């Protein structure tokens, strides 16, 4: 079987800022339960008329080509990818396009995010410690640093009630405003409870502005990462804004740290 990407009816190269982040969702599929959890949560969060694409990357590189049983290995990889995508489409209620890609996983996904005009990429996590993902180049960690759109790092939860409890980190920045706006849309759609947290030891925290716009916000001592990770223990979705840092500059940012360390799913909202 030869992998040929199916024709997608309509593609766009950019997502207007006014469009919901749940309007164009790309889900990374790797055949694991973590990836299928990303499918389940994407199915819940997707807007009614959302465009959804399930993507599996099969790396048919030189090592495969040089193998004595290369044809068999290619067939196995392609078959596994097809089976994983078929299951993903079922989880996504048949509303998604499926797409096979050949290449290195993170770079292939980034290219597809641009081509699809994704407003959100959803990935499962295999529980790697943050430092391990930085050193080994874990796909979720790399995409979190480099994606041009918002990122959902999905962790297991009772899907029937997701997102039941939402925690939002706020520092008074425009990016945090966007994260809070997304959380409020979830509240309107799902009846979620929202807890807005302000950590006083965060950099450039505009406490007065936050309390003016979100008077119910909880002001806590300590560093943002510690406060948000602790609050995430009683939530199923943590929402934070991204200041637009990419690559090495993103290492150590609040959004990058909490996405790796939180016990619940994390949604990093990034302007597109």
Q: What is the pTM of this model?
A: 0.83
- Assess whether pLDDT exceeds 80 at residue 252: no
- pLDDT tens digits along 136-146: 347 888 888 88
* E strand intervals along 70-190: 96-102, 120-124, 150-154, 165-169
Last-in-domain residue among 127, 154, 181: 154
The number of distinct structural domains making up the chain is: 2
Higher pLDDT, 264 or 204: 264
- Residue 104: which domain range? 24-154
Q: What is the pLDDT of residue 9?
A: 38
Overall average pLDDT of the 58-81 stretch: 64
Mark whether 143 and 239 lie in a shared domain.
no
- pLDDT tens digits along 91-132: 999 889 999 888 888 899 999 999 999 999 999 986 544 433
Last-in-domain residue among 154, 179, 205: 154
Please name the residues in contact with 23: beta carbons below 8 A apart, sequence gap of 6 or more.
15, 47, 49, 50, 51, 119
Please name the residues in contact with 134: beta carbons below 8 A apart, sequence gap of 6 or more.
141, 251
- Assess whether pLDDT exceeds 80 at residue 16: no
Q: Is residue 120 part of a domain?
A: yes
**What pLDDT band is residue 202 in, cutting at 50, 70 and 90?**
low
Share of the chain above pLDDT 90, in %: 50
Higher pLDDT, 27 or 7: 27
Residue written as token pair 């290219």:
111
Mark whether 46 and 150 lie in a shared domain.
yes
């Amino acid at each position: 079987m030869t992998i040929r990407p199916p024709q997608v009816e309509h593609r766009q190269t950019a997502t207007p800022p006014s469009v919901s982040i749940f309007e164009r969702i790309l889900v990374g599929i790797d055949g694991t339960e973590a990836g299928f959890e990303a499918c389940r949560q994407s199915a819940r969060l997707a807007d009614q008329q959302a465009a959804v694409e399930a993507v599996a990357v099969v790396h048919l590189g030189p090592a495969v080509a040089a193998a004595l049983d290369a044809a068999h290995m290619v067939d196995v990889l392609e078959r596994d990818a097809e089976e994983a995508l078929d299951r993903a489409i079922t989880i996504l209620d048949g509303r998604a396009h499926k797409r096979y890609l050949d290449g290195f996983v993170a770079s292939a996904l980034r290219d597809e995010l641009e081509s699809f005009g994704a407003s959100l990429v959803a990935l499962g996590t295999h529980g790697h410690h943050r430092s391990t993902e930085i050193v080994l180049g874990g796909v979720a960690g790399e995409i979190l640093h480099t994606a041009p759109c918002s990122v959902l790092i999905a962790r297991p939860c009772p899907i029937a009630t997701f997102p039941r409890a939402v925690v939002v980190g706020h520092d008074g920045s425009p990016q945090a405003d966007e994260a809070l706006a997304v959380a409020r849309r979830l509240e309107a759609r799902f009846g979620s409870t929202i807890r807005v947290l302000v950590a006083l030891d965060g950099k450039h925290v505009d406490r007065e502005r936050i309390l003016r716009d979100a008077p119910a916000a909880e002001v806590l001592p300590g560093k943002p990462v510690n406060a948000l990770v602790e609050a995430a223990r009683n939530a199923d979705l943590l929402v934070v804004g991204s200041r637009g840092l990419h690559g090495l500059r993103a290492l150590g940012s609040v959004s990058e740290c909490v996405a790796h360390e939180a016990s619940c799913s994390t949604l990093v909202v990034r302007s597109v």
